[in-house]
Structure 1
Amino acid sequence: MNPAHPYISNVLGYTTLFASADLIQQSVLGGKPAAGSTSEDSTVIDWCQTARVATVGFCFHANFNYHWLRGLERMLPGGGVNAVTGKVVVDQLIAAPLTISAFYIGLSFLENKEDLFEDWRQKFWTSYKVHVILMARLNFALVPPVARTVFLGGIALAFTIFLCHLRQQRDHKLE
């Protein structure tokens, strides 16, 4: 990341991570088989789906997380036990529900789904539980403030792969 332009670097990096997560999810965890293919090794990438995931990452997640982490550090500075505990609690009570909701509702909006909240209602709690375990504990306890946005982006890659995969589960069961 370019320290001279941290906002731009973080937003573009985060958007790339979201697009990469969807591509990994499609190619490794469950892309659609190519037409006429009998092998699961031959999948077709849904580039429109990847563009939608990248759009949600760019329009909401990248911007929100950049500003959220900076604000959280100003509100609860330092790495002591009390500061870290406070950051984890506030992050999990405010940011986690917002970002998970934005993911599901944003994608449903971009897909022009009639019920924008269907995926959210079905998958929010599972996603939230995984988020609590994966994201919060590591980010504030082990990573210095200057590296948190980048680190969060890396963890977000893994979590977004999980979200993309979980979101596609209903679609594949209907086929």
Structure 2
Amino acid sequence: MTTQVSKMSIIPKIINIFNKMFSNKYLLYTNVGLSVSLSGLGDLMEQKYEIVSGEEKEWNLIRTRNMTLSGTTVGIACHYWYSFLDRTVPGYTVRIVMKKIIVDQLIGSPLCISTFFATLGVLEGVTMEEFIKEIKAKAWRLYVAEWMIWPPCQFLNFYVLSTKYRVLFDNLVSLGYDVYTSRVKHKDYSQGSTDKSVNCD
């Protein structure tokens, strides 16, 4: 009986913490924290697959560090993008939601992809020429994948959820996508390359 009472008393505390995390005061920190955590987890899962499949021999700590840190800038970009989008295109009707999806795919998606590659370019110390070359070789692959994955997911996001939960939903859906993002980022797509990921970190 005491255990049941104890469990019941914990639930309001959890709800209170959750509400604080998604309040205006802490929302930016929550969104960045979610993005950082899942970016790192996505890379860990991808590297585990690469090791098990024989593509890589050992875990690359620097790669995971960089992928995790990239979640900071991407999380900030997503936080402010969704706020801007909801202010610019307000409403929850089907027509408005479809408009938001189109704007999100045409502007928000390239923004986040560019932020991702730019952040990693800085962390890896690549030259501008190398950065542009990588963008041309890899960014379109992520963009095509986003068109396949995100429109139906964003319909739920924009139609059902309020602005403060957008990045949470985004990150929950994108864990699998983060695995793919890590693979695209570290795979060599140059001519004549093998199907091995590149430890460029």
Scaled by the length of structure 1, the TM-score of the pair is: 0.83
Find the counterpart in structure 2 of residue 75 from structure 1. 88
Task: Output aligned runs, 1:97-136, within 5 Å.
Answer: 97-114=110-127, 115-136=130-151
Find the counterpart in structure 2 of residue 144 from structure 1. 161
Checking the alignment, whether the CA contact within 8 Å between 1:105 and 1:119 is kept in structure 2 is no
Deviations 1:69-117 (A, max 9, x none): 1221122223211111111111111111111122223213311223112
Aligned length: 167
- Structure 1 unaligned residues grouped into runs of 5+: 34-38
Q: CA deviation at 1:45?
A: 1.6
Checking the alignment, whether the CA contact within 8 Å between 2:36 and 2:68 is kept in structure 1 is yes
Checking the alignment, whether the CA contact within 8 Å between 2:56 and 2:197 is kept in structure 1 is no
Higher Rg of the two aligned structures: 2
- Judged with a 3 Å threshold, the aligned counterparts in structure 2 of structure 1 residues 83 and 48 are, in CA distance, closer, same or farther, namely same
Deviations 1:134-162 (A, max 9, x none): 12331233541243210101123222211
Please state whether the residue corresponding to 1:109 is helix, strand or coil. Answer: helix
Give the ranges of 4+ consecutive aligned residues of structure 1 lying more than 4 Å apart after TM superposition: none
Checking the alignment, whether the CA contact within 8 Å between 1:100 and 1:124 is kept in structure 2 is yes
CA RMSD of aligned residues (A): 2.5
2:58 equivalent to 1:44: yes
Scaled by the length of structure 2, the TM-score of the pair is: 0.73
2:198 equivalent to 1:157: no
- Structure 2 unaligned residues grouped into runs of 5+: 1-17, 190-195
Checking the alignment, whether the CA contact within 8 Å between 1:135 and 1:152 is kept in structure 2 is no
Identical positions, percent: 23
Q: Give me the whole-angstrom Cα distance separating, in 1, the residues matched to 2:185 and 2:132.
A: 12
